[in-house]
Amino acid sequence: MTDFGLACPIPLSDYPTVTLAHGGGGRLMNHLIERMFMAAFRNPHLDRRHDGAVFETGGGRLAITTDSYVVRPLFFPGGDIGSLAVHGTVNDLAMCGARPLHLTVALILEEGLPMDTLWRVTQSLAEAARACEVSIVAGDTKVVDRGKGDGLYLNTSGIGILEHALDIRPASVRPGDVVLVSGDLGRHGMAVMAVRAGLEFESEIESDSAPLSRVVQALLRRNLEIHCLRDLTRGGLASALNEIAATARVGVTLDEAEVPVREDVRGACEVLGLDPLYVANEGRFVVFLPEREAEVALEILRAHEVCREARRVGFVHEDPQPPVTLLTTMGVHRVVDMLSGEQLPRIC
Amino acid sequence: MTDFGLACPIPLSDYPTVTLAHGGGGRLMNHLIERMFMAAFRNPHLDRRHDGAVFETGGGRLAITTDSYVVRPLFFPGGDIGSLAVHGTVNDLAMCGARPLHLTVALILEEGLPMDTLWRVTQSLAEAARACEVSIVAGDTKVVDRGKGDGLYLNTSGIGILEHALDIRPASVRPGDVVLVSGDLGRHGMAVMAVRAGLEFESEIESDSAPLSRVVQALLRRNLEIHCLRDLTRGGLASALNEIAATARVGVTLDEAEVPVREDVRGACEVLGLDPLYVANEGRFVVFLPEREAEVALEILRAHEVCREARRVGFVHEDPQPPVTLLTTMGVHRVVDMLSGEQLPRIC
């Protein structure tokens, strides 16, 4: 029996078992990652707390990343688990400043999954990979017994190449940087939740799931001094900014009036009692770079359909406590915490 | 709704849904891979039908591979899902002729998993990675609702570097090659099955799960003309040889008297009605290389504890029909087919 004799670093009296919130992108997931995984796997790559790892090989720098997908339902307005997985992994590579090259796909299928569902997901994976100009170069298939899965789970890992000399990562963020967001928030989360809750809104909300590698390449080609890139997935903008601010030991102030949220998404959030700052996106990212480069960066972003609504939404300052504040439209400062608890299980 | 308009390439009248055998490493999994995934993802990397993909970057050749692990139970004699995953991915890289560098780990946890179980698996992952001299550089955690998983599923993907000029892959195998097997067969499969079936044998059978990267590096350092390497996982020796023979369009003849199977494993197989040629291993591999290099290769293999029982078990000839035959101890030739159906579900 495997026994390493070390006490579990998560207090078992508080959390004797894994809860849904441990996968929600908020505080509990953060605890699990920091206290358990970072402690056990400790190495300089993980210490960077990035969307993927960047490493040197003979000729240059490469980035590697991995994500599993357990979204429910498999098909939702604006996407499905196949395209979502390709976009997610391509985007993680882009956030490392890499040009995506190759993906791997590993499937965990539940016995009884309709074969035609698998075929639709396979085609979606293939089509999304083609659109992102990456190849699916290796794969794996496992089948688990009926009742031990939920149709289909998917892992995509990816590798990309860095073709610049920037050190893009949370620790590079510094006071004086501005925060740009590439588009309106909350659509992916609300699209999935609306289907799941059987809600009907006046207009159907479609997921924002989209690849971001092309626009990131455009930013990089202009030699902007990009300090950090981060896509806004589980936990939304609020959790991403909190993680980055904590790693960089800086503070971020957001201007509520500038944070773009579509009216229908805001309405759906109100119905469900959710804050759009915490809702997952799958085609949105933030850029940290010096104030003097903000206008050029926004121009490049807006030239790409997927970033047409790009905005400057905040700035970085020296005071790291609290890490993230929101200047509300009422003119008061409100602390923006990490997501606590689980608001949207299995959103990706 | 995603609809690409192409008919499913698996006949839905035969297989309307996914079955356990579609993940078993035999004929049905092969159909799924060849007809569905190869058709949808088609590219030269997949066409090599190898354990991972080898690709060029600026300075050299790298290999990438992925595997998900769904083994049940999570802990078994001789290993657990954590060390198994590290060994499996390290071995797939080694089979590409690569020196493993970095791994990623992605977890799918079921709500309610004991936190201490997660901690034990995490430590096992860390310890196995240390022993294999690889870093776990990126990760992902998802949690699914109770009843939609089975405690813990795991994906490891890996990257390695090729430090030689050989073209190690199934298509490089040619008539005149010999087949070496690195040790006794069937222990991993029987160790897991014995626990699952609650069988008690006189001696406990331990899994052969082990990393093979060091011994493969030793073979490569001697500049042997290695044509192909393949670790013997799902589907066992029989399925691996069938896949390689089909890709290389050659025939393989095995000498039953030389195929090493321990007495206790053979006995357990008989009790369960299984053929050791089809039982999964997680620390065994085959080497294809020219006859003249067989003795040197065996000497190197046997100098490593994990390959002490290495043997020459067969040879490659021109006639590809049937792809694999066994010269039995009775002196007759028997066709060795791919595994059909599912004999050992969720063995890895």
Give the rounded distance of the alpha carbon of B62 from its chain centre: 20
For residue range A211-221, what is the model confidence (pLDDT) as tens digits?
A: 999 999 999 99
Distance from CA of B257 to the nearest CA of A (A): 33
pLDDT of residue A107 exceeding 70, the answer is yes
State the pLDDT at residue B108.
98
Of A36, A66, A145, the CB nearest to B157: A66
Residue B165: both structure tokens together: 């000029």
State the pLDDT at residue B111.
97
Q: By CB neighbour count within 10 A (0-12 exposed, 13-18 middle, 19+ buried), where does A198 fall?
A: exposed
Q: Which residues of B touch A65 (CB under 8 A)?
A: 104, 138
Residue A86: both structure tokens together: 């390709």
For residue range A285-310, what is the model confidence (pLDDT) as tens digits?
A: 999 999 999 999 999 999 999 999 99
Contact A142 B18 (CB under 8 A): no
pTM: 0.95
Confidence of residue B61 (pLDDT cuts 50, 70, 90): very high
Q: Which residues of A touch B127 (CB under 8 A)?
A: 4
Confidence of residue A59 (pLDDT cuts 50, 70, 90): confident
CATH 1.25.10.10 fits A47-162, yes or no: no
CA angle A185, A155, B158 (to 5 degrees): 120
User: Would you list the domain boundaries of chain B?
Assistant: 47-162, 170-335
For residue range A25-49, what is the model confidence (pLDDT) as tens digits?
A: 889 999 999 999 999 999 999 988 8
Measured between alpha carbons, how far is B158 from B99 in angstroms, rounded to an integer?
11
Residues 6 or more apart in contact with residue B43 via CB below 8 angstroms: A135, A136, A137
Of B116, B122, B143, the CB nearest to A37: B122
pLDDT of residue B60 exceeding 90, the answer is no
For residue range B263-279, what is the model confidence (pLDDT) as tens digits?
A: 999 999 998 899 999 99
The residue that leads in pLDDT, A197 or A230, is: A230
Region of residue B78 (phi > 0: left; psi between -120 and 50: alpha; otherwise: beta): left
Compute the mean pLDDT over every residue in chain B, rounded to the nearest whole number.
Answer: 94
Count other Cβ atoms within 10 Å, centred on residue A299. Answer: 11
Confidence of residue A110 (pLDDT cuts 50, 70, 90): very high
pLDDT of residue A185 exceeding 70, the answer is yes
State the pLDDT at residue B2.
54
State the pLDDT at residue B3.
65
Q: What is the CATH number of domain A170-335?
A: 3.90.650.10
- The helices-and-strands tally (H runs, E runs) of chain A is 10, 14
For residue range B206-256, what is the model confidence (pLDDT) as tens digits?
A: 999 999 999 999 999 999 999 999 999 999 999 999 999 999 999 999 999
3-state secondary structure string, chain B?
CCCCCCCCCCCCCCCCECCHHHHCCCHHHHHHHHHHHHHHHCCHHHHCCCCCEEEEECCEEEEEEEEEECCCCCEECCEEHHHHHHHHHHHHHHHCCEEEEEEEEEEEEECCCEHHHHHHHHHHHHHHHHHCCCEEEEEEEEEECCCCCCCEEEEEEEEEEECCCCCCCHHHCCCCEEEEECCCCCHHHHHHHHHHHCCCCCCCCCCCCCCCHHHHHHHHHCCCCCCEEEECCCCHHHHHHHHHHHHHCCEEEEEHHHCCCCHHHHHHHHHHCCCHHHCCCCCCEEEEEEHHHHHHHHHHHHCCHHHCCCEEEEEEECCCCCCEEEECCCCCEEECCCCCCCCCCCCC
Contact A41 B139 (CB under 8 A): yes
Residue type, B169: R
Element containing residue A255 per DSSP (H, E) = strand A251-255
Q: By CB neighbour count within 10 A (0-12 exposed, 13-18 middle, 19+ buried), where does B198 fall?
A: exposed
Distance from CA of B331 to the nearest CA of A (A): 38
Residue B11, preceding bond cis, omega within 30 degrees?
A: no
Of B32, B75, B153, the CB nearest to A2: B75
CB A90 within 8 A of CB A229: no
CB A218 within 8 A of CB A163: no
Q: What are the beta bridge partners of residue A60?
A: A57
For residue range B118-143, what is the model confidence (pLDDT) as tens digits?
A: 999 999 999 999 999 999 999 999 99
